[in-house]
Amino acid sequence: MTRTDDSAVIGPGWRGRLRAIYILVTLTLVTLLLLPFQAAFLRWWLPGARVLPHLYHRFLARLLGMRVVIRGAPVADGPCLMVANHISWLDIVAFSAVAPLSFIAKSEVGTWPIFGTLARLQRTVFVVRERRSKAGQSRDEITARLASGDRLVLFPEGTSTDGLRVYPFKSALLGAAEIEIAGRPVTVQPVTIAYTGFHGLPMPRWLMPAYAWYGDMDLAPHLWFALQLGRFEVTIQLHEPLTVADCGSRKALAARAEEQVRRGLVCLLRGEPVQAVSCTKP
């Protein structure tokens, strides 16, 4: 990286601040314009309730300067649960810009200012992890959504990371993988997301905290700084799908999915091809 790139990390300067202001003003106006339409779509269960968030995030990705590169093929048909590593609030933009989909998130997300409202408008499934009495209700909602053809994304690490590693997948969060719909098991597709480029160059590791949101980072300062930096690249690797029947148990499936996602992250950060990880019964 050049000296200019270093200074961008230390502080993007007045041009970066103007860029961030432009993004925030534009995003606010567009969001306020589209909110009534999405609310109406949700109320009357129109197809636009799935499509509008996808178009909205495609616009947002372009506004942010985010280029999303897709590798691999999505599951062609049938109920599918996508399980991915989690790095940043920017993950939501990247995934949603690729295809119409929704997320499975902890219930606390629904209480966040602004982000909670946007999550509800995107038909996020909120799960109360601390109360077993609510587990059946969440499972029923997930089953109904998958049966209706929705693609759901789950982050089984249970938290976000620094973008350089993958935390262990919590098999308890993969209860939806044991669901059968119309006699068919739910397909689980492991997905790796990686922040791989900055202004056309490979993403340096010391710049990753500008995009990864984790630990005790405050959201507002992180968002403000990230908006100033300009063009960056996100790579999404779609791995071979798995099922509980293939792997023998939910825990085995979680382990295989974690291994695939972790290997994918290492390869993407190194710029290497991603090799498949098979899932066979013990």
Determine whether 151 is exposed, middle or buried from the number of CB atoms within 10 Å of its CB (0-12, 13-18, 19+).
buried
How far is CA 198 from each of CA 8, 94, 193, 194, 229, rounded to the nearest angstrom? 11, 15, 15, 12, 9
At 111, list the tokens: 């209480």
Residue 180: which CATH number?
3.40.1130
**Per-residue pLDDT, 139:** 77
- CB < 8 Å & 24+ apart, contacts of 182-185: 182/147, 184/78, 184/79, 185/243, 185/244, 185/245
The vertex-33 CA angle with 27 and 36, nearest 5°, equals 130
Boundaries of domain holding 115: 3-270
At 135, list the tokens: 């587990």
Does 257 reside within a domain?
Answer: yes
Q: Of 70, 50, 79, which Cα lies nearest the Cα of 241?
A: 79
Does 277 reside within a domain?
Answer: no
- Cβ-contact 177, 186 below 8 angstroms: yes
**Per-residue pLDDT, 277:** 52
- Amino acid found at 109: V
Does 241 reside within a domain?
Answer: yes
Number of domains the chain is built from: 1
**Per-residue pLDDT, 269:** 94
**Per-residue pLDDT, 248:** 87
Query: pLDDT tens, position by position, for the chain (282 residues)?
Result: 333 444 444 457 889 999 999 999 999 999 999 999 999 999 998 889 999 999 999 999 999 999 999 999 888 777 789 999 999 999 999 999 999 999 998 888 888 888 888 999 999 999 876 555 555 567 788 888 888 888 999 999 999 999 999 999 998 888 888 887 877 788 999 999 999 999 999 999 999 999 999 999 999 999 999 999 999 999 999 999 999 888 988 999 999 999 999 999 999 999 887 765 544 443
- From CA 222, how far away is CA 202, in angstroms rounded? 21
Half-sphere exposure of 243 (CA within 13 A, CB side): 13
- Cβ-contact 107, 120 below 8 angstroms: no
Does 278 reside within a domain?
Answer: no
- From CA 91, how far away is CA 74, in angstroms rounded? 17
**Per-residue pLDDT, 94:** 97
Does 242 reside within a domain?
Answer: yes
**Per-residue pLDDT, 174:** 85
C-alpha torsion 66→67→71→75, nearest 10? 60
**pTM as predicted:** 0.89
Does 275 reside within a domain?
Answer: no
Does 280 reside within a domain?
Answer: no
